Structure 1
Protein backbone atom coordinates (compact mmCIF):
# COMPACT_ATOMS: atom_id res chain seq x y z
CA UNK A 1 0.00 0.00 0.00
CA UNK A 2 2.86 2.36 -0.82
CA UNK A 3 2.24 5.07 -3.45
CA UNK A 4 4.35 4.74 -6.59
CA UNK A 5 3.38 8.06 -8.20
CA UNK A 6 5.93 10.74 -8.93
CA UNK A 7 6.13 13.10 -5.93
CA UNK A 8 3.70 10.99 -3.86
CA UNK A 9 4.70 10.70 -0.23
CA UNK A 10 3.31 8.69 2.64
CA UNK A 11 1.59 10.80 5.25
CA UNK A 12 3.00 11.00 8.76
CA UNK A 13 0.62 9.04 11.04
CA UNK A 14 0.87 11.84 13.65
CA UNK A 15 -0.60 14.27 11.12
CA UNK A 16 -3.28 11.93 9.79
CA UNK A 17 -6.43 13.88 8.91
CA UNK A 18 -8.22 10.96 7.27
CA UNK A 19 -10.51 8.54 9.14
CA UNK A 20 -12.36 5.42 8.04
CA UNK A 21 -15.83 4.83 9.49
CA UNK A 22 -18.47 2.12 9.37
CA UNK A 23 -21.75 1.95 11.26
CA UNK A 24 -21.49 -1.80 11.84
CA UNK A 25 -19.63 -3.40 14.73
CA UNK A 26 -20.11 -6.95 13.38
CA UNK A 27 -21.09 -8.61 10.12
CA UNK A 28 -22.14 -11.98 8.75
CA UNK A 29 -20.77 -13.76 5.66
CA UNK A 30 -22.07 -12.05 2.52
CA UNK A 31 -23.16 -8.88 4.35
CA UNK A 32 -22.76 -5.52 2.66
CA UNK A 33 -20.98 -3.06 4.93
CA UNK A 34 -21.06 0.72 4.32
CA UNK A 35 -17.64 2.35 4.69
CA UNK A 36 -16.94 6.09 4.71
CA UNK A 37 -13.56 7.76 4.28
CA UNK A 38 -13.54 11.29 5.72
CA UNK A 39 -10.91 13.96 5.93
CA UNK A 40 -10.59 17.39 7.45
CA UNK A 41 -8.38 18.37 4.52
CA UNK A 42 -8.64 17.82 0.78
CA UNK A 43 -6.75 14.85 -0.64
CA UNK A 44 -6.33 13.48 -4.15
CA UNK A 45 -5.22 9.88 -3.85
CA UNK A 46 -6.16 6.87 -1.75
CA UNK A 47 -6.06 3.07 -1.63
CA UNK A 48 -8.70 1.25 0.43
CA UNK A 49 -8.72 -2.42 1.41
CA UNK A 50 -10.38 -4.64 3.99
CA UNK A 51 -7.96 -7.02 5.72
CA UNK A 52 -8.30 -9.85 8.17
CA UNK A 53 -7.07 -8.87 11.63
CA UNK A 54 -5.71 -12.39 12.22
CA UNK A 55 -3.28 -12.55 9.28
CA UNK A 56 -3.49 -9.20 7.43
CA UNK A 57 -4.79 -10.87 4.22
CA UNK A 58 -6.98 -8.79 1.91
CA UNK A 59 -10.61 -9.94 2.22
CA UNK A 60 -13.96 -9.34 0.54
CA UNK A 61 -14.82 -7.11 -2.38
CA UNK A 62 -16.18 -3.63 -2.93
CA UNK A 63 -19.60 -3.55 -4.60
CA UNK A 64 -20.21 0.21 -4.59
CA UNK A 65 -17.64 2.93 -5.16
CA UNK A 66 -18.07 6.70 -5.60
CA UNK A 67 -17.26 8.72 -8.74
CA UNK A 68 -13.54 9.43 -9.03
CA UNK A 69 -12.73 5.89 -7.84
CA UNK A 70 -11.94 2.59 -9.52
CA UNK A 71 -11.76 -1.04 -8.46
CA UNK A 72 -8.44 -2.87 -8.38
CA UNK A 73 -7.53 -6.53 -8.31
CA UNK A 74 -4.79 -7.31 -5.81
CA UNK A 75 -5.78 -10.92 -5.09
CA UNK A 76 -9.41 -11.02 -6.22
CA UNK A 77 -11.47 -8.84 -8.58
CA UNK A 78 -12.62 -5.71 -6.74
CA UNK A 79 -10.80 -6.39 -3.46
CA UNK A 80 -9.26 -2.89 -3.44
CA UNK A 81 -10.33 0.63 -4.44
CA UNK A 82 -8.21 3.58 -5.51
CA UNK A 83 -8.68 7.04 -7.04
CA UNK A 84 -9.26 7.36 -10.78
CA UNK A 85 -8.54 11.06 -11.08
CA UNK A 86 -6.79 13.94 -9.32
CA UNK A 87 -9.96 15.69 -8.13
CA UNK A 88 -9.91 16.89 -4.52
CA UNK A 89 -11.77 14.61 -2.12
CA UNK A 90 -12.98 14.83 1.50
CA UNK A 91 -15.87 12.40 2.05
CA UNK A 92 -16.19 9.16 0.12
CA UNK A 93 -18.74 6.37 0.59
CA UNK A 94 -18.17 2.72 -0.34
CA UNK A 95 -19.91 -0.60 0.21
CA UNK A 96 -17.78 -3.64 1.04
CA UNK A 97 -19.17 -7.16 0.67
CA UNK A 98 -17.95 -9.77 3.14
CA UNK A 99 -16.80 -13.14 1.77
CA UNK A 100 -19.32 -15.99 1.69
CA UNK A 101 -17.36 -17.87 4.36
CA UNK A 102 -16.62 -16.54 7.87
CA UNK A 103 -13.21 -14.84 8.15
CA UNK A 104 -13.28 -13.22 11.58
CA UNK A 105 -12.51 -9.62 12.45
CA UNK A 106 -11.52 -7.22 9.69
CA UNK A 107 -9.93 -3.79 9.51
CA UNK A 108 -10.11 -1.20 6.76
CA UNK A 109 -6.83 0.40 5.64
Structure 2
Protein backbone atom coordinates (compact mmCIF):
# COMPACT_ATOMS: atom_id res chain seq x y z
CA UNK A 1 0.00 0.00 0.00
CA UNK A 2 2.98 2.28 -0.60
CA UNK A 3 2.50 4.84 -3.37
CA UNK A 4 4.87 4.61 -6.31
CA UNK A 5 6.00 8.19 -5.83
CA UNK A 6 9.54 8.25 -7.23
CA UNK A 7 12.21 9.69 -4.96
CA UNK A 8 10.13 9.98 -1.78
CA UNK A 9 9.51 7.74 1.21
CA UNK A 10 6.62 7.51 3.67
CA UNK A 11 6.58 9.79 6.68
CA UNK A 12 7.33 8.41 10.12
CA UNK A 13 4.24 7.04 11.86
CA UNK A 14 5.11 9.27 14.84
CA UNK A 15 4.21 12.33 12.74
CA UNK A 16 0.88 10.94 11.51
CA UNK A 17 -1.93 13.48 12.04
CA UNK A 18 -4.73 11.17 10.81
CA UNK A 19 -7.11 8.81 12.57
CA UNK A 20 -9.12 6.22 10.66
CA UNK A 21 -12.41 5.51 12.45
CA UNK A 22 -15.20 2.99 11.89
CA UNK A 23 -18.78 3.92 12.80
CA UNK A 24 -19.16 0.79 14.93
CA UNK A 25 -17.03 -1.61 16.95
CA UNK A 26 -19.13 -4.51 15.61
CA UNK A 27 -20.17 -5.56 12.12
CA UNK A 28 -22.68 -8.12 10.88
CA UNK A 29 -22.84 -9.65 7.41
CA UNK A 30 -24.73 -7.29 5.10
CA UNK A 31 -24.60 -4.36 7.55
CA UNK A 32 -22.81 -1.26 6.23
CA UNK A 33 -20.07 0.29 8.34
CA UNK A 34 -18.98 3.84 7.56
CA UNK A 35 -15.36 4.92 7.79
CA UNK A 36 -14.07 8.46 8.24
CA UNK A 37 -10.61 9.99 8.31
CA UNK A 38 -10.00 12.73 10.88
CA UNK A 39 -6.96 14.94 11.14
CA UNK A 40 -7.16 17.39 8.30
CA UNK A 41 -7.36 17.59 4.54
CA UNK A 42 -5.70 15.02 2.29
CA UNK A 43 -5.35 14.49 -1.44
CA UNK A 44 -4.64 10.77 -1.75
CA UNK A 45 -6.10 7.75 -0.01
CA UNK A 46 -6.13 3.96 -0.22
CA UNK A 47 -8.41 2.05 2.15
CA UNK A 48 -8.75 -1.69 2.70
CA UNK A 49 -10.38 -3.73 5.44
CA UNK A 50 -8.32 -6.73 6.51
CA UNK A 51 -8.80 -9.55 8.94
CA UNK A 52 -6.51 -8.78 11.90
CA UNK A 53 -3.04 -10.15 11.23
CA UNK A 54 -3.62 -10.73 7.52
CA UNK A 55 -2.71 -8.79 4.36
CA UNK A 56 -5.59 -9.71 2.06
CA UNK A 57 -8.52 -7.28 1.88
CA UNK A 58 -11.98 -8.54 2.79
CA UNK A 59 -15.49 -7.22 2.22
CA UNK A 60 -16.73 -4.69 -0.30
CA UNK A 61 -16.68 -0.90 -0.49
CA UNK A 62 -19.60 0.97 -2.05
CA UNK A 63 -20.85 4.50 -2.77
CA UNK A 64 -17.42 6.14 -2.88
CA UNK A 65 -17.43 9.82 -1.95
CA UNK A 66 -16.66 12.53 -4.50
CA UNK A 67 -13.13 12.43 -5.89
CA UNK A 68 -12.63 8.76 -4.94
CA UNK A 69 -13.26 5.47 -6.71
CA UNK A 70 -13.59 1.76 -6.03
CA UNK A 71 -10.61 -0.46 -6.71
CA UNK A 72 -10.11 -4.20 -7.08
CA UNK A 73 -7.02 -5.59 -5.34
CA UNK A 74 -8.01 -9.26 -4.77
CA UNK A 75 -11.79 -9.23 -5.19
CA UNK A 76 -14.15 -6.77 -6.81
CA UNK A 77 -14.38 -3.41 -4.99
CA UNK A 78 -12.27 -4.56 -2.02
CA UNK A 79 -10.49 -1.19 -1.79
CA UNK A 80 -11.21 2.48 -2.34
CA UNK A 81 -8.73 5.07 -3.58
CA UNK A 82 -8.54 8.66 -4.81
CA UNK A 83 -9.79 9.44 -8.32
CA UNK A 84 -7.78 12.68 -8.48
CA UNK A 85 -5.70 14.92 -6.23
CA UNK A 86 -8.55 17.25 -5.27
CA UNK A 87 -8.68 17.98 -1.56
CA UNK A 88 -10.68 15.50 0.51
CA UNK A 89 -11.56 16.03 4.14
CA UNK A 90 -13.41 14.85 7.18
CA UNK A 91 -16.71 15.16 5.30
CA UNK A 92 -15.70 12.21 3.09
CA UNK A 93 -17.51 9.11 4.33
CA UNK A 94 -16.54 5.67 3.02
CA UNK A 95 -18.93 2.69 3.19
CA UNK A 96 -17.81 -0.94 3.72
CA UNK A 97 -19.85 -4.14 3.99
CA UNK A 98 -18.89 -7.76 4.59
CA UNK A 99 -20.94 -10.64 3.23
CA UNK A 100 -19.73 -12.92 6.04
CA UNK A 101 -18.36 -12.79 9.55
CA UNK A 102 -14.60 -13.22 9.15
CA UNK A 103 -13.77 -12.30 12.75
CA UNK A 104 -12.00 -9.16 13.92
CA UNK A 105 -10.98 -6.73 11.16
CA UNK A 106 -9.14 -3.41 10.89
CA UNK A 107 -9.21 -0.65 8.33
CA UNK A 108 -5.75 -0.19 6.84
CA UNK A 109 -5.01 3.12 5.13
CA UNK A 110 -2.47 5.03 3.13
CA UNK A 111 -3.11 8.77 3.29
CA UNK A 112 -1.29 11.45 1.29
CA UNK A 113 -1.32 15.16 2.05
CA UNK A 114 0.71 15.75 -1.10
CA UNK A 115 2.93 13.88 -3.56
CA UNK A 116 5.85 13.75 -1.14
CA UNK A 117 4.05 13.75 2.24
CA UNK A 118 2.19 10.50 2.93
CA UNK A 119 1.74 7.83 5.59
CA UNK A 120 1.30 4.10 5.04
CA UNK A 121 -0.13 1.24 7.09
CA UNK A 122 -2.34 3.46 9.26
CA UNK A 123 -4.60 1.09 11.18
CA UNK A 124 -7.97 1.67 12.83
CA UNK A 125 -9.14 0.13 16.06
CA UNK A 126 -10.43 -3.42 15.63
CA UNK A 127 -13.99 -4.01 14.49
CA UNK A 128 -15.34 -7.35 15.71
CA UNK A 129 -17.70 -9.67 13.92
CA UNK A 130 -21.02 -9.79 15.76
CA UNK A 131 -22.17 -13.10 17.22
CA UNK A 132 -24.57 -14.62 14.71
CA UNK A 133 -27.37 -17.04 15.44
CA UNK A 134 -27.05 -17.09 19.22
CA UNK A 135 -30.40 -17.27 20.89
CA UNK A 136 -31.22 -14.86 23.73
CA UNK A 137 -31.28 -17.84 26.14
CA UNK A 138 -27.70 -18.78 25.26
CA UNK A 139 -26.58 -15.18 25.65
CA UNK A 140 -28.29 -14.99 29.03
CA UNK A 141 -26.64 -18.24 30.09
CA UNK A 142 -23.24 -16.87 29.06
CA UNK A 143 -23.88 -13.66 31.00
CA UNK A 144 -24.88 -15.60 34.15
CA UNK A 145 -21.78 -17.82 33.82
CA UNK A 146 -19.59 -14.74 33.50
CA UNK A 147 -21.17 -13.11 36.55
CA UNK A 148 -20.68 -16.28 38.60
CA UNK A 149 -17.09 -16.51 37.46
CA UNK A 150 -16.38 -12.88 38.38
CA UNK A 151 -18.06 -13.33 41.73
CA UNK A 152 -15.60 -16.02 42.82
TM-score interval for Structure 1 and Structure 2 normalised by the shorter chain: 0.7 to 0.9
Determine the structure 2 residue equivalent to 1:102.
101
User: After TM superposition, which residue ranges in structure 1, 4 or more long, deviate above 4 angstroms?
Assistant: none
Q: CA RMSD in A?
A: 1.5
- The TM-score with structure 2 as length reference comes to 0.65
Determine the structure 1 residue equivalent to 2:89.
90
Q: Structure 2: give runs of 5+ residues left out of the alignment.
A: 109-152
The structure with more helix, counted as a fraction of residues: 2
The structure with more strand, counted as a fraction of residues: 1
CA offsets 1:24-75 (integer angstroms, 9 cap, x no match): 11111121111111223x3211111000004332100101210000111000
- The TM-score with structure 1 as length reference comes to 0.88
Determine the structure 2 residue equivalent to 1:64.
63
Determine the structure 2 residue equivalent to 1:17.
17
Distance 1:8 1:38 in 2: 24
- After alignment, is 2-11 or 21-30 more displaced? 2-11
Matched residue pairs, number?
Answer: 107
